[in-house]
Structure 1
Amino acid sequence: MKAFIFQPSFGAGVILNSFMEGFVYQTGVEDVDKLLQRGGISGMFTVITLVILVFSLSEILQRTVVISVILGKMGSFVDTQAKLILTTIFSCFLTNMLSASQYVAIMIPGEMFRSAYEGLNISKRVLSRTLEDAGTITTFVIPWSSGAIFASGVLGVSTLAYLPYAFFALLSPLIAAIYALTGFAIFKEDEEDEE
């Protein structure tokens, strides 16, 4: 819409074509031309199709309660705060691998372990942080997940090609595990009530 208003010199045909096929403009500088000659719906069709398939698979796994059964078995031996947080980290990563969706990877473990966090008097902030560290962030390192498919499509490289440089995605679960083992920044629920 903005192109129709602010760039009327291109014309409706060019604007609609760039929407489908991507924008093409020659500046004479090869690197700039590569940046400008990308986009369009057809360029992202493979990524969009894979994301739709990933969400379909995750919905099937969620509705058939496959993931909940697996996580329920894992949660049965949790009796300390370190075990609970480490189990949450592993559950998020496993759910991310099975469902290929970061949303499912934070929703299901979050619901499954919320009462265990309350039972051990661990703050909901710790649960939220752990879900983020292990569920949301790790989606970019699992090649078949929606986040990794999107990142690969945008960057134009495979997940394994950018994996060694994904420091945040690799270090976040590790730091969460260190917090769990040392007890550092593991806030208690009753401490929040006093604030």
Structure 2
Amino acid sequence: MAQGVRIAVVVGSNRKGSINQTYARALERLAGEGMVFDYLPVGALPLYNMDLEEEAPTVLADIKARIQAADGVLFVSPEHNRSVTALMKNTLDWCSRGSGGNVWAGKRAAVCGASPGTRGADLSQMHFRQIAVVLNLEVLPQPEVYVHVKEGLFTEAGDFASERDGGFQKRFLDRFADWVVRA
């Protein structure tokens, strides 16, 4: 795997105790020094409104600059009503508009998600991929990563409890890092 690949991370849930925040942190520990995760403060963005573009929130410039500086973007998100979360859609919209233009264009990314539901956020990822095409965001085609969260998936420390799960997630991260550096 490439060393020190800079990854901007968008977590599509900002609730306390977020499963996907736990999942993202487990991925970060699993990646070790091979990837440097930068968690973007997307919860600070107001609900997108074109009227706000002229005087965009200051956090937007920071988020866009961090995306541009990153080698790739990792989207980690649950599913809400068989679609992307409102937070995820809001982030996609803000970062594709206004000052600085569409920072997603040509950026390599991966999407994954965790859910207590047996489908593990698969439908939200399918919808995410449809949106990504319009934004010219290049999403890693394989593997598709849908995590069914059940008791025992994570240790008390928040790592993957089984070698099987950890191994799969590590292969996903390695593939993503290699794909990003080949851009």
Quick one: higher RCO (CA 8 Å, sep 6+), 1 or 2? 2
Structure (1 or 2) with the larger CA radius of gyration:
1
What TM-score do you get using the length of structure 1 for normalisation?
0.27
Greater helix content = 1
What TM-score do you get using the length of structure 2 for normalisation?
0.28
Greater strand content = 2
